[in-house]
Amino acid sequence: MDSGSNFTALTTLWIKECTRFLRIWIQTLVPPAITMTLYFVIFGSLIGERIGQMGGFTYMEFIVPGLIMMAIITNSYANVSSSFFSAKFQRNVEELLVSPVPTWAIILGFVGGGVARASLIGIIVTAVSLFFVDVNIHSVAIIVVTLLLTSILFATAGLINGIFAKTFDDISVVPTFVLTPLTYLGGVFYSLTLLPEFWQWVSKANPIVYMVNGFRYGFLGVSDVNVFVSLGLLVVFNLVLFSLAYVLLQRGTGIRS
Would you give per-residue pLDDT tens digits along the chain (257 residues)? 667 778 888 999 999 999 999 999 999 999 999 999 898 888 777 777 777 778 778 888 899 999 999 999 999 999 999 999 988 888 777 777 777 888 899 999 999 999 999 999 999 999 999 888 888 899 999 999 999 999 999 999 999 999 998 888 888 888 888 888 888 888 888 888 888 888 889 888 999 999 999 999 999 999 999 999 999 999 999 999 999 999 998 888 877 65
Residue 180 lies in a domain: yes
Amino acid residing at 146: T
For residue 100, give its domain range: 3-251
Residue 257 lies in a domain: no
Tell me which residue of 69, 97, 93 sits closest to 83, measured CA to CA.
Answer: 93
Tell me which residue of 201, 222, 197, 202 sits closest to 212, measured CA to CA.
Answer: 222
Mapping DSSP to helix (H, G, I), strand (E, B) and coil, where does residue 3 land? helix
Residue 208 lies in a domain: yes
Sequence-distant (6+) residues with CB within 8 A of 28 are 21, 22, 75, 79, 117
Is the whole-model pTM more than 0.85?
Answer: yes
Are the C-beta atoms of 159 and 107 separated by less than 8 Å? Answer: yes
Structural domains of the chain, count? 1
Residue 17 lies in a domain: yes
Predicted pLDDT at 194: 86
Residue 256 lies in a domain: no
Residue 155 lies in a domain: yes
Tell me which residue of 21, 125, 131 sits closest to 73, measured CA to CA.
Answer: 125
Predicted pLDDT at 114: 95
Residue 82 lies in a domain: yes
Residue 68 lies in a domain: yes
Predicted pLDDT at 145: 96
